[in-house]
Structure 1
Amino acid sequence: MKTMADMYDLNAIRDSFFASQSKSTAGQQEVYVDREGKVRLGTGGENDAPLSRVPQSTFAAATGANAARLERERRVVETKLPANTYYEDTPGAEGWVYEITTMFEHRYVMCARFDGVEYQVRLIEPALETLPTHDQHGFHLYHSGKICLSERSGSGQPTLQEAYARSATWALGVDFVRMGRPFPFNRKQ
Protein backbone atom coordinates (compact mmCIF):
# COMPACT_ATOMS: atom_id res chain seq x y z
CA MET A 1 0.00 0.00 0.00
CA LYS A 2 1.32 3.43 -0.99
CA THR A 3 1.93 5.97 1.67
CA MET A 4 1.32 9.71 1.25
CA ALA A 5 5.09 10.17 0.88
CA ASP A 6 5.07 7.67 -2.01
CA MET A 7 2.20 9.49 -3.76
CA TYR A 8 3.98 12.87 -3.54
CA ASP A 9 7.49 11.58 -4.36
CA LEU A 10 8.74 14.11 -6.94
CA ASN A 11 11.46 11.75 -8.16
CA ALA A 12 8.89 9.01 -8.81
CA ILE A 13 6.62 11.51 -10.61
CA ARG A 14 9.56 12.63 -12.76
CA ASP A 15 10.54 9.00 -13.47
CA SER A 16 6.99 8.23 -14.54
CA PHE A 17 7.07 11.14 -17.02
CA PHE A 18 10.43 9.96 -18.37
CA ALA A 19 9.13 6.40 -18.79
CA SER A 20 6.06 7.65 -20.65
CA GLN A 21 8.08 9.95 -22.88
CA SER A 22 10.49 7.15 -23.78
CA LYS A 23 7.46 4.95 -24.60
CA SER A 24 8.47 2.49 -21.88
CA THR A 25 5.86 1.02 -19.58
CA ALA A 26 8.51 0.01 -17.04
CA GLY A 27 8.33 2.47 -14.16
CA GLN A 28 5.39 4.37 -15.61
CA GLN A 29 2.63 5.17 -13.15
CA GLU A 30 -0.41 7.38 -13.51
CA VAL A 31 0.02 10.98 -12.40
CA TYR A 32 -2.93 13.01 -11.14
CA VAL A 33 -3.74 16.53 -9.96
CA ASP A 34 -6.29 17.22 -7.26
CA ARG A 35 -8.62 20.23 -7.04
CA GLU A 36 -6.01 22.18 -5.07
CA GLY A 37 -3.39 21.71 -7.79
CA LYS A 38 -1.30 19.10 -5.97
CA VAL A 39 0.49 16.71 -8.36
CA ARG A 40 0.79 13.09 -7.27
CA LEU A 41 0.95 9.46 -8.28
CA GLY A 42 -2.10 7.25 -7.90
CA THR A 43 -4.91 5.35 -9.49
CA GLY A 44 -7.40 8.19 -9.64
CA GLY A 45 -9.88 6.90 -7.10
CA GLU A 46 -8.20 7.35 -3.74
CA ASN A 47 -10.24 8.91 -0.94
CA ASP A 48 -13.14 9.53 -3.32
CA ALA A 49 -11.46 12.83 -4.21
CA PRO A 50 -11.98 14.00 -7.80
CA LEU A 51 -8.66 13.87 -9.61
CA SER A 52 -7.56 14.91 -13.08
CA ARG A 53 -5.25 12.54 -14.94
CA VAL A 54 -2.10 14.23 -16.29
CA PRO A 55 -1.02 13.38 -19.85
CA GLN A 56 2.68 12.58 -19.51
CA SER A 57 3.84 13.73 -22.93
CA THR A 58 6.82 16.03 -23.33
CA PHE A 59 6.40 19.68 -22.37
CA ALA A 60 7.68 21.48 -25.44
CA ALA A 61 7.18 24.49 -27.58
CA ALA A 62 7.21 23.63 -31.24
CA THR A 63 9.94 26.14 -31.96
CA GLY A 64 10.73 24.71 -35.39
CA ALA A 65 7.08 24.76 -36.45
CA ASN A 66 6.56 28.17 -34.87
CA ALA A 67 9.63 29.59 -36.61
CA ALA A 68 8.45 28.24 -39.97
CA ARG A 69 4.94 29.65 -39.41
CA LEU A 70 6.35 33.04 -38.40
CA GLU A 71 8.51 33.10 -41.54
CA ARG A 72 5.45 32.36 -43.72
CA GLU A 73 3.53 35.06 -41.87
CA ARG A 74 6.39 37.53 -42.36
CA ARG A 75 6.17 37.03 -46.14
CA VAL A 76 2.41 37.69 -46.02
CA VAL A 77 2.97 40.80 -43.89
CA GLU A 78 5.57 42.14 -46.33
CA THR A 79 3.27 41.78 -49.33
CA LYS A 80 -0.33 41.97 -48.06
CA LEU A 81 -0.61 43.84 -44.76
CA PRO A 82 -0.11 47.58 -44.11
CA ALA A 83 3.47 48.86 -44.09
CA ASN A 84 3.03 49.83 -40.41
CA THR A 85 2.56 46.17 -39.34
CA TYR A 86 4.93 44.85 -36.69
CA TYR A 87 5.18 41.71 -34.59
CA GLU A 88 4.44 42.16 -30.89
CA ASP A 89 5.95 39.43 -28.75
CA THR A 90 4.90 40.50 -25.29
CA PRO A 91 3.77 37.37 -23.42
CA GLY A 92 0.00 37.12 -23.66
CA ALA A 93 -0.14 39.70 -26.44
CA GLU A 94 1.79 38.01 -29.25
CA GLY A 95 0.69 38.77 -32.78
CA TRP A 96 0.83 41.05 -35.79
CA VAL A 97 -0.27 44.59 -34.94
CA TYR A 98 -1.48 46.79 -37.78
CA GLU A 99 -3.35 50.02 -38.23
CA ILE A 100 -5.87 50.84 -40.93
CA THR A 101 -7.92 53.93 -41.72
CA THR A 102 -11.25 53.33 -43.39
CA MET A 103 -12.73 55.38 -46.22
CA PHE A 104 -14.71 57.24 -43.52
CA GLU A 105 -11.40 58.25 -41.92
CA HIS A 106 -11.86 56.11 -38.80
CA ARG A 107 -8.64 54.61 -37.48
CA TYR A 108 -8.50 51.04 -36.20
CA VAL A 109 -5.55 49.27 -34.59
CA MET A 110 -5.81 45.49 -34.50
CA CYS A 111 -3.70 42.49 -33.56
CA ALA A 112 -3.90 39.20 -35.48
CA ARG A 113 -2.54 36.10 -33.78
CA PHE A 114 -2.46 32.39 -34.45
CA ASP A 115 -4.14 30.53 -31.60
CA GLY A 116 -2.91 27.10 -32.65
CA VAL A 117 -5.92 26.46 -34.88
CA GLU A 118 -6.74 29.66 -36.71
CA TYR A 119 -6.04 33.39 -36.76
CA GLN A 120 -7.95 35.56 -34.32
CA VAL A 121 -8.05 39.35 -34.45
CA ARG A 122 -8.42 41.61 -31.43
CA LEU A 123 -9.35 45.27 -31.66
CA ILE A 124 -6.83 47.40 -29.77
CA GLU A 125 -8.12 50.86 -30.67
CA PRO A 126 -10.68 52.37 -30.48
CA ALA A 127 -12.13 50.67 -27.41
CA LEU A 128 -15.57 50.10 -28.93
CA GLU A 129 -16.38 47.23 -26.54
CA THR A 130 -16.42 49.74 -23.66
CA LEU A 131 -19.02 52.03 -25.25
CA PRO A 132 -22.37 52.11 -23.42
CA THR A 133 -24.05 51.48 -26.79
CA HIS A 134 -21.88 48.44 -27.55
CA ASP A 135 -23.92 45.52 -28.83
CA GLN A 136 -21.83 42.36 -29.39
CA HIS A 137 -24.14 41.17 -32.15
CA GLY A 138 -24.41 44.49 -33.97
CA PHE A 139 -20.70 45.27 -33.73
CA HIS A 140 -19.54 41.65 -34.19
CA LEU A 141 -17.18 42.39 -31.34
CA TYR A 142 -16.97 40.42 -28.13
CA HIS A 143 -16.61 42.25 -24.81
CA SER A 144 -13.02 40.92 -24.70
CA GLY A 145 -12.16 42.93 -27.83
CA LYS A 146 -12.02 39.87 -30.08
CA ILE A 147 -13.59 40.47 -33.48
CA CYS A 148 -16.08 37.89 -34.73
CA LEU A 149 -14.68 37.06 -38.16
CA SER A 150 -16.86 34.07 -39.02
CA GLU A 151 -20.01 32.25 -38.08
CA ARG A 152 -17.98 29.37 -36.62
CA SER A 153 -17.67 29.29 -32.87
CA GLY A 154 -13.92 30.09 -32.91
CA SER A 155 -14.65 33.16 -35.08
CA GLY A 156 -11.24 33.21 -36.68
CA GLN A 157 -9.88 32.64 -40.17
CA PRO A 158 -7.60 29.90 -41.51
CA THR A 159 -4.85 32.24 -42.77
CA LEU A 160 -3.29 35.51 -41.67
CA GLN A 161 -4.16 37.08 -45.03
CA GLU A 162 -7.85 36.13 -44.67
CA ALA A 163 -7.95 37.35 -41.05
CA TYR A 164 -6.49 40.69 -42.11
CA ALA A 165 -8.89 41.04 -45.06
CA ARG A 166 -11.92 40.17 -42.92
CA SER A 167 -10.83 42.54 -40.14
CA ALA A 168 -10.44 45.47 -42.58
CA THR A 169 -13.90 44.71 -44.01
CA TRP A 170 -15.24 44.39 -40.46
CA ALA A 171 -13.87 47.89 -39.67
CA LEU A 172 -15.71 49.37 -42.64
CA GLY A 173 -18.90 47.60 -41.56
CA VAL A 174 -18.52 48.91 -38.01
CA ASP A 175 -18.20 52.43 -39.42
CA PHE A 176 -21.80 52.04 -40.62
CA VAL A 177 -22.90 50.73 -37.21
CA ARG A 178 -21.20 53.68 -35.52
CA MET A 179 -23.22 55.96 -37.85
CA GLY A 180 -26.48 54.33 -36.68
CA ARG A 181 -26.95 51.90 -39.57
CA PRO A 182 -26.99 48.10 -39.58
CA PHE A 183 -23.82 46.14 -40.31
CA PRO A 184 -23.86 46.09 -44.14
CA PHE A 185 -22.11 42.78 -44.86
CA ASN A 186 -24.58 40.32 -43.33
CA ARG A 187 -27.68 39.48 -45.32
CA LYS A 188 -29.79 38.88 -42.19
CA GLN A 189 -28.77 42.02 -40.33
Structure 2
Amino acid sequence: MADLYDLNAVRDSFFASQRRSSEAPTVPDEQVYVDRTGRVRLGTGTERDAPLSKVPHGTFAALGKAERLAEERRVARRKLPENAYYEDTPGAEGWVYSITTEFGNTYVMCAGFNGTQYDVRLLEPALEDVPKLDQHGTHLYHSGKICLSSSLGSGVPDLETAYSRSAVWALGVDFVRLGHSFPFNYNQ
Protein backbone atom coordinates (compact mmCIF):
# COMPACT_ATOMS: atom_id res chain seq x y z
CA MET A 1 0.00 0.00 0.00
CA ALA A 2 1.23 3.51 -0.73
CA ASP A 3 2.24 5.87 2.05
CA LEU A 4 -0.86 6.30 4.23
CA TYR A 5 0.15 9.77 5.35
CA ASP A 6 0.93 11.35 1.98
CA LEU A 7 -2.00 13.76 1.71
CA ASN A 8 -0.53 15.20 -1.48
CA ALA A 9 -0.86 11.77 -3.12
CA VAL A 10 -4.49 11.52 -1.96
CA ARG A 11 -5.20 14.98 -3.36
CA ASP A 12 -3.42 14.15 -6.63
CA SER A 13 -5.52 11.00 -6.98
CA PHE A 14 -8.73 13.04 -6.65
CA PHE A 15 -7.48 15.67 -9.12
CA ALA A 16 -6.48 13.06 -11.72
CA SER A 17 -9.91 11.39 -11.59
CA GLN A 18 -11.75 14.71 -11.68
CA ARG A 19 -9.77 15.87 -14.74
CA ARG A 20 -10.90 12.66 -16.47
CA SER A 21 -14.50 13.22 -15.22
CA SER A 22 -14.31 9.83 -13.59
CA GLU A 23 -15.60 8.68 -10.23
CA ALA A 24 -12.71 6.21 -9.88
CA PRO A 25 -9.02 6.23 -10.69
CA THR A 26 -7.69 4.07 -13.52
CA VAL A 27 -4.71 2.87 -11.48
CA PRO A 28 -5.56 0.73 -8.40
CA ASP A 29 -2.79 2.33 -6.30
CA GLU A 30 -4.51 5.72 -6.76
CA GLN A 31 -7.81 4.58 -5.22
CA VAL A 32 -8.70 6.27 -1.93
CA TYR A 33 -10.27 4.25 0.90
CA VAL A 34 -11.50 4.96 4.42
CA ASP A 35 -11.19 2.45 7.24
CA ARG A 36 -13.68 1.91 10.08
CA THR A 37 -11.95 4.51 12.22
CA GLY A 38 -12.36 7.20 9.54
CA ARG A 39 -8.71 7.15 8.52
CA VAL A 40 -8.12 8.02 4.86
CA ARG A 41 -5.88 5.57 3.01
CA LEU A 42 -4.44 5.39 -0.47
CA GLY A 43 -3.80 2.05 -2.13
CA THR A 44 -5.30 -1.20 -3.29
CA GLY A 45 -8.02 -1.56 -0.64
CA THR A 46 -6.52 -4.50 1.19
CA GLU A 47 -5.05 -4.09 4.64
CA ARG A 48 -4.98 -7.22 6.73
CA ASP A 49 -8.54 -7.95 7.85
CA ALA A 50 -9.72 -4.35 8.07
CA PRO A 51 -12.79 -3.67 5.90
CA LEU A 52 -12.24 -0.53 3.82
CA SER A 53 -14.79 1.69 2.11
CA LYS A 54 -13.99 2.79 -1.44
CA VAL A 55 -14.29 6.57 -1.95
CA PRO A 56 -15.79 7.88 -5.22
CA HIS A 57 -13.47 10.54 -6.63
CA GLY A 58 -16.07 12.93 -8.00
CA THR A 59 -15.84 16.64 -7.29
CA PHE A 60 -17.08 17.86 -3.92
CA ALA A 61 -19.50 20.45 -5.19
CA ALA A 62 -22.84 22.08 -4.71
CA LEU A 63 -24.26 24.68 -7.02
CA GLY A 64 -25.30 27.95 -5.48
CA LYS A 65 -28.93 28.94 -5.93
CA ALA A 66 -28.17 31.31 -8.84
CA GLU A 67 -26.13 28.66 -10.68
CA ARG A 68 -28.76 25.99 -10.04
CA LEU A 69 -31.56 28.23 -11.32
CA ALA A 70 -29.54 29.10 -14.43
CA GLU A 71 -29.07 25.40 -15.14
CA GLU A 72 -32.76 24.75 -14.48
CA ARG A 73 -33.71 27.50 -16.95
CA ARG A 74 -31.55 25.87 -19.63
CA VAL A 75 -33.22 22.52 -18.98
CA ALA A 76 -36.69 24.09 -18.89
CA ARG A 77 -36.18 25.82 -22.26
CA ARG A 78 -34.95 22.64 -23.91
CA LYS A 79 -36.86 19.82 -22.19
CA LEU A 80 -39.96 20.95 -20.30
CA PRO A 81 -43.32 21.73 -21.91
CA GLU A 82 -43.66 25.21 -23.39
CA ASN A 83 -46.25 26.00 -20.69
CA ALA A 84 -43.63 25.57 -17.92
CA TYR A 85 -42.89 28.55 -15.70
CA TYR A 86 -40.92 29.10 -12.52
CA GLU A 87 -42.97 29.75 -9.40
CA ASP A 88 -40.98 31.61 -6.76
CA THR A 89 -43.48 31.84 -3.93
CA PRO A 90 -41.57 31.13 -0.69
CA GLY A 91 -42.20 27.53 0.32
CA ALA A 92 -43.58 26.65 -3.12
CA GLU A 93 -40.62 27.27 -5.43
CA GLY A 94 -40.37 25.14 -8.52
CA TRP A 95 -41.21 24.60 -12.16
CA VAL A 96 -44.94 24.35 -12.82
CA TYR A 97 -46.02 22.55 -15.98
CA SER A 98 -48.94 20.57 -17.33
CA ILE A 99 -48.96 17.31 -19.22
CA THR A 100 -51.86 15.89 -21.21
CA THR A 101 -51.57 12.13 -21.56
CA GLU A 102 -52.55 9.91 -24.46
CA PHE A 103 -55.85 9.34 -22.61
CA GLY A 104 -56.59 13.07 -22.68
CA ASN A 105 -56.13 13.62 -18.95
CA THR A 106 -54.26 16.74 -17.88
CA TYR A 107 -51.94 16.77 -14.89
CA VAL A 108 -50.48 19.98 -13.46
CA MET A 109 -47.27 19.40 -11.52
CA CYS A 110 -44.52 21.34 -9.83
CA ALA A 111 -40.92 20.10 -9.85
CA GLY A 112 -38.71 21.71 -7.26
CA PHE A 113 -35.32 21.30 -5.64
CA ASN A 114 -35.59 20.39 -1.95
CA GLY A 115 -31.94 21.02 -1.11
CA THR A 116 -30.67 17.58 -2.08
CA GLN A 117 -32.85 16.33 -4.92
CA TYR A 118 -35.86 17.19 -7.08
CA ASP A 119 -39.38 16.37 -5.97
CA VAL A 120 -42.57 16.64 -8.00
CA ARG A 121 -45.92 17.55 -6.49
CA LEU A 122 -49.21 16.94 -8.22
CA LEU A 123 -51.19 20.19 -8.19
CA GLU A 124 -54.17 19.10 -10.31
CA PRO A 125 -56.25 16.96 -10.31
CA ALA A 126 -56.48 16.25 -6.58
CA LEU A 127 -55.97 12.48 -6.56
CA GLU A 128 -54.28 11.98 -3.20
CA ASP A 129 -57.60 11.67 -1.33
CA VAL A 130 -59.65 9.68 -3.88
CA PRO A 131 -60.78 6.64 -1.83
CA LYS A 132 -60.30 3.97 -4.52
CA LEU A 133 -56.74 5.14 -5.25
CA ASP A 134 -54.19 4.07 -2.67
CA GLN A 135 -50.76 5.61 -2.09
CA HIS A 136 -48.86 2.47 -3.00
CA GLY A 137 -50.82 1.81 -6.18
CA THR A 138 -50.56 5.37 -7.44
CA HIS A 139 -47.12 6.23 -6.06
CA LEU A 140 -48.68 9.42 -4.73
CA TYR A 141 -48.33 10.48 -1.12
CA HIS A 142 -51.23 12.15 0.72
CA SER A 143 -49.23 15.38 0.55
CA GLY A 144 -49.48 15.34 -3.25
CA LYS A 145 -45.81 14.42 -3.66
CA ILE A 146 -45.16 11.83 -6.36
CA CYS A 147 -42.87 8.92 -5.51
CA LEU A 148 -40.39 9.14 -8.38
CA SER A 149 -37.79 6.66 -7.16
CA SER A 150 -36.86 4.18 -4.50
CA SER A 151 -34.21 6.54 -3.13
CA LEU A 152 -34.60 8.01 0.32
CA GLY A 153 -37.05 10.87 -0.10
CA SER A 154 -38.41 9.50 -3.40
CA GLY A 155 -36.80 12.27 -5.43
CA VAL A 156 -34.38 12.32 -8.35
CA PRO A 157 -31.04 14.07 -8.98
CA ASP A 158 -32.01 16.60 -11.67
CA LEU A 159 -34.89 18.58 -13.17
CA GLU A 160 -34.90 16.70 -16.48
CA THR A 161 -35.31 13.37 -14.71
CA ALA A 162 -38.01 14.81 -12.45
CA TYR A 163 -39.97 15.98 -15.49
CA SER A 164 -39.54 12.77 -17.50
CA ARG A 165 -40.42 10.50 -14.56
CA SER A 166 -43.49 12.63 -13.77
CA ALA A 167 -44.73 12.30 -17.37
CA VAL A 168 -44.40 8.51 -17.24
CA TRP A 169 -46.04 8.56 -13.80
CA ALA A 170 -49.03 10.49 -15.22
CA LEU A 171 -49.54 7.88 -17.94
CA GLY A 172 -49.23 5.09 -15.36
CA VAL A 173 -51.80 6.74 -13.10
CA ASP A 174 -54.20 6.93 -16.05
CA PHE A 175 -54.12 3.13 -16.12
CA VAL A 176 -54.72 3.00 -12.35
CA ARG A 177 -57.66 5.38 -12.72
CA LEU A 178 -59.08 2.98 -15.33
CA GLY A 179 -58.95 0.13 -12.81
CA HIS A 180 -55.62 -1.46 -13.76
CA SER A 181 -52.35 -1.81 -11.90
CA PHE A 182 -49.60 0.75 -12.32
CA PRO A 183 -47.97 -0.60 -15.50
CA PHE A 184 -44.37 0.54 -15.07
CA ASN A 185 -43.31 -1.49 -12.01
CA TYR A 186 -42.69 -5.19 -12.55
CA ASN A 187 -43.86 -6.02 -9.01
CA GLN A 188 -47.32 -4.47 -9.30
Q: Is contact 2:117-2:155 (8 Å) kept?
A: yes
Q: Which residue of 1 aligns with 2:119?
A: 120
- TM-score using structure 1 length: 0.66
Structure 2 distance, partners of 1:91, 1:187, is: 38
Q: Is contact 2:110-2:123 (8 Å) kept?
A: yes
Residues 97-146 of structure 1: per-residue CA shift (max 9 Å, x gap):
00010000000000000011100000000000021222000000000000
Q: Is contact 2:172-2:182 (8 Å) kept?
A: yes
RMSD (CA atoms): 0.9
Matched, 1:132 2:114: no
Structure 1 distance, partners of 2:64, 2:151, is: 25
Larger Rg: 1
Greater shift, 124-133 or 171-180, is seen at: 124-133
**1:152-163 equivalences in 2 (<5 Å):** 152-163=151-162
Matched, 1:86 2:89: no
Local SS of the residue matching 1:124: strand
Gaps of 5+ in 2: 1-62
Q: Which residue of 1 aligns with 2:142?
A: 143
Residues 149-177 of structure 1: per-residue CA shift (max 9 Å, x gap):
00122101101000100000000000000
Structure 1 distance, partners of 2:150, 2:158, is: 16
- Residue identity in the other structure for 2:96: V
Structure 2 distance, partners of 1:112, 1:184, is: 23
Tell me which protein shows more helix as a share of its residues: 1
Local SS of the residue matching 1:162: helix
Q: Is contact 2:133-2:177 (8 Å) kept?
A: no
Q: Which residue of 2 aligns with 1:111?
A: 110
Structure 2 distance, partners of 1:131, 1:137, is: 13
Structure 2 distance, partners of 1:130, 1:77, is: 30
Residues 40-91 of structure 1: per-residue CA shift (max 9 Å, x gap):
xxxxxxxxxxxxxxxxxxxxxxxx8101100000000000000000000111
Structure 2 distance, partners of 1:153, 1:180, is: 29
Structure 1 distance, partners of 2:122, 2:98, is: 10
- Residue identity in the other structure for 1:162: T
Q: Which residue of 2 aligns with 1:171?
A: 170
Sequence identity (%): 67
- Residue identity in the other structure for 2:158: T
